[in-house]
Chains A and B, each alone.
Chain A
Amino acid sequence: MPANRFNGHSDYGIGIGLRVPHYSHILSKKPVVDWFEIISENFMVEGGRPLELLDRILEQYRVVQHGVSMYFGSADRPDRAHLRKLKTLVKRTGTPWLSDHLCWGSVDGTYTHDLLPMPYTFAAARRTAEKIRQVRDYLEVPICVENVSSYAEFHVSEMTEWEFLTEVVERADCGILLDVNNIYVSSKNHGFDPYAYLNGVPADRVGQIHVAGHTKFEKYILDTHDHPVLDPVWRLYAHATRLCGVTATLLEWDNHIPSFEEVHEEALKANAYIAGARRQRKKP
C-alpha cells in the first residue's frame, strides 16, 4: 500500500468500520483485520463503556478516525469544544490521519446531522480550505476530506463537484478520502460520468478509499450503506486503484449489518481489484 503525507505515511490495507453489532465477536474471537475505522463522534464522550471498549480495541488493532460532524464547509467557525474533544480522542487512538466530509450540515449552531452538499463556488472553496487548515493545525494530524453523495445541485455553483474538491484540497493542502460509491450515487443522481470525476481529481492526494452499497429508487439512488458493494462501484474502485495506486481501503456497512464474517469477506473482495490494478500497472 503506498504511503503518502496525507495518510501519515502509513501502510494500511483493507479495513472495515467498527460497529456495535460486531463488538462481542471482535473482542471474543479477535479476528485478523488490517484496521478498523471508527466514527469519531461515537467516542467523543467523557467516559463509560464506549471508551473502555475503544481501549480494548486499541490494544489489538490499528484504528483510523472518521468524522461526520466537522462540517468543513459550514460558514460557522470550528467549534472549540468540539475540537478539544476531537483532539483528546486523536491522542487516545494515535490515528495516523483523520477524515471527515466535504460538506456542511450546521449553521448558527443548529445541526441537521446530515452531510449536505456544498454550493461549488470559489468563495465556498476558500472558506472550506481555510477551515480545514485551522482544524489540521489544531489537531496536528493529516486530514483527508471525503466527497459526499448528493441529491441536489445548486444554481450558484460555478464548477463541477470534482473541480470543487480539487480546488479545496489544493488550497488546504490536504488529502482526499475518495468514496467511489458516493461518486457512483451522485453520478446517477446528477447525470455525470463517474470516470470523468475520477480522472479529474488529484490522484496523488488520495490517502484512503471508501466502498459501500447503495439502494436504487425509481428516480434516484440513495447512499444507504446497507448492501454489498455493487459491480459498477467495484469497477470504479478498480479504476481508482489504477490511478491512485493501491490505497488504504475501507468498506462501510451501517444499516442491516450482517455478521462480522460477511462484512469482512465483502471488504476483502477489494483484493481481487487491487491485484488486477497491480498487474495493469506493471505492464509497460
Chain B
Amino acid sequence: MKSTADLRAFQRLMTRAVIRPLTAEGRLQPRWTDDRPMADVAAGFIKPNDRLTAFERLEIYNRMYWFRLLDCAADDSPGLRHLLGEDRFAQLARAYLTKYPSRSFTLRNLCSRLPQFIREEPKWTAPRTALAWDIARFEWAQTVAFDGEGRPLPEPAEIAAIPPARLRLGLQPYLSLLALDYPVDAYVTAVKRRDALRGEASNAREGAARKVRRSRRVPPPRRGRIHLVVHRHSGRLFYKRVDPAAYRLLEAIGAGLPLARAIAAAAPRAGAARIQEWFATWMKLGWFFNAAPPRRSPK
C-alpha cells in the first residue's frame, strides 16, 4: 500500500465485505460476488490467528454491522415492526439497507428513505403496503420533529404590520404535514403503550408478566383518511389532526404562497372566523417563521 488510492481500494473491498448481506443463518456469505470462496477473499487481506481464520475475523465485522443497523432500524420503527411482525420487519429492513446503505454520518438518518423503499418494493409489506407506507412516513416524521431545525418565531407585531397579500410565512423545518389513508397516529401510540407495558412487566410478578405477554396484538387500523401535523412543543413530540381545509392551507403556506393567496387557493370557503381560530392555535404552537426576505435598510 503506497498511496491514498491504494488505501481507498483496500477500504472499498472491506466495506463491500462488511456490508454484504448475511446468510439466512446470520453468517458471512460463503461466496464472494464473483462466486470465489469468501474464505479465499478474506485470506487475501486479513491475517488469521491461532484461534480464528481470516473468514471468521471478517465475519465478526459483518455480523456486527448488520446487528447494529437492524437494531437501529427496529428502534426507529416500533409501529412498522408491530404491523409486520419481527421476522417480516427484519426481512424488510435487510432489503432496505441492502439497497440503501447508510449515506449519513449519523444513524439518526438511517430510516429516512424507508418510506420511499416501501413504495418501490411493495413485496416486502404486501398486502398492507399502503398502511406500511403511512406508518413509515409517520415514524420518520417523528425523528424530524424530535431534533429538526427550529427557526425563530415571528413577532406578532411584525406580522400584523405586513398586509396579507405580501405576508409570507414558513413552516418550521421540524414540522411534517402528512395526508394519510389510515389513522396511524392512534395505532402507533397504542403499540408504544403496549410495548411500554411489556417492558414494565419484565420486572413484575411472573403471573402478571405472562398476562401482559398474552395481551392481544394491537389490531391494524381500518382505512380512514386523516390529515396530521407532526410537530414538537416545549421539547415534546405531538401529533395534531387538522381539518382538510386547514391542511391545504398549511401546505400552501409551506409552499411559499403569500397568506392571502394561500387562503384563496386552499381554504376559500373556510370563513374568516375559522381561519383566525386556526391561526391563533398555530401561532401559539410556534409552527411558523417569517419567510419574508429581510427589509433593505434605507440608504
User: Which residues of A approach B to under 8 Å, CB–CB?
Assistant: 41, 44-52, 69, 74-76, 79, 82, 104, 106-114, 116, 119, 121, 123-124, 127, 151-156, 189-191, 219-220
Known: A75-B4, A123-B7. A49 touches B61 (CB 8 A): no
Complex Cα gap A42–B242 (Å): 32
Tell me whether B10 is interfacial, beta carbon within 8 Å: yes
Known: A75-B7, A156-B1. A220 touches B148 (CB 8 A): no
Q: Is the CB of B4 within 8 A of A49?
A: no
B19 and chain A: residue at smallest CB distance: A112
B8 and chain A: residue at smallest CB distance: A75
Q: Which residues of B have CB within 8 Å of A47? A: 147-150, 174
Contact of B173 among A46, A108, A111 (CB under 8 A): A46
User: 17 extra interchain contacts, Cβ-Cβ under 8 A, other than A121-B7, A152-B46?
Assistant: A46-B150, A46-B173, A46-B174, A47-B150, A48-B235, A75-B5, A75-B7, A79-B105, A110-B19, A112-B65, A112-B102, A114-B61, A116-B18, A151-B60, A151-B61, A152-B54, A152-B58
Contact of B7 among A113, A119, A191, A219 (CB under 8 A): A119
Known: A41-B105, A48-B150, A119-B1. A112 touches B47 (CB 8 A): no
Q: Is the CB of B7 within 8 A of A49?
A: no
Q: Which residues of A have CB within 8 Å of B236? A: 49
Chain B nearest Cβ from A196, distance in angstroms: 17
Q: Is the CB of A123 within 8 A of B6?
A: yes
B103 and chain A: residue at smallest CB distance: A109
Q: Which residues of B have CB within 8 Å of A49? A: 146-147, 232, 235-236
B2 and chain A: residue at smallest CB distance: A123
Q: Is the CB of B103 within 8 A of A154?
A: no
Complex Cα gap A72–B102 (Å): 18
Chain A nearest Cβ from B116, distance in angstroms: 18
B52 and chain A: residue at smallest CB distance: A219
Q: Is the CB of B7 within 8 A of A124?
A: yes
Q: Which residues of B have CB within 8 Å of A76? A: 8
Q: Is the CB of A107 within 8 A of B12?
A: yes
What 0/1 pattern do residues 1 to 38 of B give for CB contact below 8 A with A? 11111111011101100110000000000000000000
Q: Is the CB of A48 within 8 A of B146?
A: yes
Q: Is the CB of B11 within 8 A of A46?
A: no
Q: Is the CB of A111 within 8 A of B174?
A: no
Q: List 24 A-B contacts (CB under 8 A).
A: A41-B106, A48-B145, A48-B174, A49-B232, A52-B235, A69-B105, A74-B11, A75-B4, A75-B8, A76-B8, A107-B11, A110-B102, A111-B101, A112-B65, A116-B14, A116-B61, A119-B1, A119-B10, A123-B6, A123-B7, A152-B46, A154-B10, A156-B10, A219-B56
Known: A110-B19, A113-B107, A155-B46. A123 touches B3 (CB 8 A): yes
Complex Cα gap A155–B5 (Å): 17
Chain A nearest Cβ from B180, distance in angstroms: 23
Complex Cα gap A113–B106 (Å): 8
Chain A nearest Cβ from B299, distance in angstroms: 34
Known: A48-B232, A75-B4. A152 touches B61 (CB 8 A): yes
A190 and chain B: residue at smallest CB distance: B49
Contact of A220 among B5, B7, B52, B106 (CB under 8 A): B52
Which residues of B, 183-237, contact A by the 8 Å Cβ criterion? 232, 235-236
Q: Is the CB of A46 within 8 A of B147?
A: yes
Tell me whether B45 is interfacial, beta carbon within 8 Å: yes
B18 and chain A: residue at smallest CB distance: A112
Known: A119-B1, A152-B57, A191-B50. A50 touches B147 (CB 8 A): yes
Q: Is the CB of B148 within 8 A of A48?
A: yes
Q: Is the CB of B147 within 8 A of A111?
A: no
Chain A nearest Cβ from B73, distance in angstroms: 12
Chain A nearest Cβ from B42, distance in angstroms: 9
Q: Which residues of B have CB within 8 Å of A44? A: 106
Complex Cα gap A107–B11 (Å): 6
Q: Is the CB of A45 within 8 A of B147?
A: yes
Tell me whether B51 is interfacial, beta carbon within 8 Å: yes
Of A74, A119, A191, chain B has the most CB atoms within 10 Å of the CB of A119
A219 and chain B: residue at smallest CB distance: B51
Which residues of B, 235-284, contact A by the 8 Å Cβ criterion? 235-236
Q: Is the CB of B11 within 8 A of A104?
A: yes
Which residues of B, 108-127, contact A by the 8 Å Cβ criterion? 108
Q: Which residues of B have CB within 8 Å of A152? A: 46-47, 54, 57-58, 60-61
